[in-house]
């Protein structure tokens, strides 16, 4: 995607993969200041190490305590997180702020992706956010760390009740990803106006999205977030806005063939 945008915009640059061992990650990230690399995206399990390695952190990185983006400015390494913008951007294209002010969200998962989702939802002003996770104590721990009355956990056994209340359901877990079991949660009792947002993009149509489509519910897939979180990274790295054209087909082909 980045290389496609570079070619399309005529910017001189390259986006290439680097393999970093977890136990060497902080040192590797700190060394970026001594190179001509303008920035890097960071994936699991190195987002916390990226946050710790930085000289400065942005507000979005601070909200999550992790960074998926590192860039160099005036000799300093800055940690940022574009997941909040990447998650909320596609949502704002489908719903307006008034909708969010009266919407109950159900978030599935209690890992790093869920943290970004919850921070974004709080920032968007949702009055009620419910968290469920297959391991109840992980959901309860995350809720206690955030400490907001409008954000609470329900036991996994009670997820059916949460589905009934939700105007927005977000899968921020690995359930449904290629090689993983499908999410064990039915949409049978979801209101007809509920929006289903699955952050997984491999496969593009997850079992959750397939069920939502069959029930006539509106959906957002992980490809939307993948593109939306990449745009601010591109601007930070190259100093230009990413082209406005939709790179979805480029991504689909790359995901199928393993190309970069």
| Residue 116 covered by a domain | yes
Domains contained in the chain, number: 2
State whether 92 and 64 are in the same domain: no
**Which residues does the chain have with pLDDT short of 70?**
258-260
State whether 159 and 96 are in the same domain: yes
State whether 99 and 194 are in the same domain: yes
CB 68 within 8 A of CB 82: yes
| Residue 192 covered by a domain | yes
Give me the pLDDT at residue 213, please. 98
Write the CATH number for 10: 3.40.50.10860
Write the CATH number for 159: 3.40.50.720
State whether 52 and 112 are in the same domain: no
Domain boundary among the residues 61, 81, 101 is at: 81
Give me the pLDDT at residue 260, please. 52
Task: Please say if 164 is a catalytic residue.
Answer: no
Query: How far, rounded to the nearest angstrom, does the alpha carbon of residue 130 sit from its chain's CA centroid?
Result: 18
Q: CA triplet 112, 195, 184: central angle to 5 degrees? A: 60
Q: Which of 47, 76, 164, 192 is catalytic?
A: 47
Contacts of residue 54, Cβ cutoff 8 Å, sequence gap at least 6: 29, 61, 67, 70, 77, 78, 79
**Residue 162, domain extent:** 84-222
State whether 63 and 109 are in the same domain: no
State whether 74 and 131 are in the same domain: no
Backbone φ, ψ for residue 159 (5° rounding): -60, -25
Q: Hey, what are 3's tokens?
A: 């290389």
Query: How far, rounded to the nearest angstrom, does the alpha carbon of residue 111 sit from its chain's CA centroid?
Result: 11
> What is the C-alpha separation between 105 and 127, in angstroms, rounded?
9
Q: Is the pTM here over 0.85, yes or no?
A: yes
Give me the pLDDT at residue 259, please. 54
> What is the C-alpha separation between 61 and 82, in angstroms, rounded?
8
State whether 66 and 183 are in the same domain: no
Backbone φ, ψ for residue 13 (5° rounding): 170, 175
> What is the C-alpha separation between 84 and 142, in angstroms, rounded?
17
pLDDT digits (tens, 9 = 90+) for 35-53: 999 999 998 889 999 999 9
Q: Hey, what are 124's tokens?
A: 């968007």
**CB-based burial label for 239 (10 Å; 0-12, 13-18, 19+):** exposed
């Amino acid at each position: 995607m980045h290389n496609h945008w570079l070619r399309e915009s005529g910017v001189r640059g390259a986006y290439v993969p680097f393999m970093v061992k977890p136990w060497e990650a902080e040192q590797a990230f700190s060394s970026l200041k001594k190179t001509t690399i303008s920035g890097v995206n960071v994936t699991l399990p190195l987002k916390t190490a990226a946050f710790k390695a930085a000289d400065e952190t942005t507000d979005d990185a601070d909200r999550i305590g992790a960074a998926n983006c590192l860039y160099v400015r005036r000799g300093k390494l800055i940690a940022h997180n574009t997941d909040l913008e990447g998650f909320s951007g596609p949502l704002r294209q489908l719903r307006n702020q008034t909708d969010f002010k009266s919407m109950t969200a159900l978030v599935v998962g209690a890992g790093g992706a869920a943290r970004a989702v919850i921070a974004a939802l709080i920032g968007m002003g949702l009055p009620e956010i419910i968290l469920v996770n297959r391991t109840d104590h992980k959901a309860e721990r995350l809720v206690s760390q955030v400490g907001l009355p409008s954000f609470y956990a329900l036991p996994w056994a009670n997820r059916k009740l949460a589905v009934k209340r939700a105007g927005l359901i977000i899968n921020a877990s690995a359930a449904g990803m290629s090689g993983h079991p499908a999410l064990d949660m039915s949409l049978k009792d979801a209101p007809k106006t509920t929006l289903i947002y699955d952050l997984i993009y491999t496969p593009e149509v997850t079992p959750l999205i397939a069920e939502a489509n069959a029930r006539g519910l509106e959906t957002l897939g992980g490809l939307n977030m993948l593109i939306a979180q990449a745009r601010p990274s591109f601007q930070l790295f190259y100093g230009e806005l990413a082209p406005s054209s939709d790179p979805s087909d480029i991504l689909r082909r790359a995901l199928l063939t393993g190309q970069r």
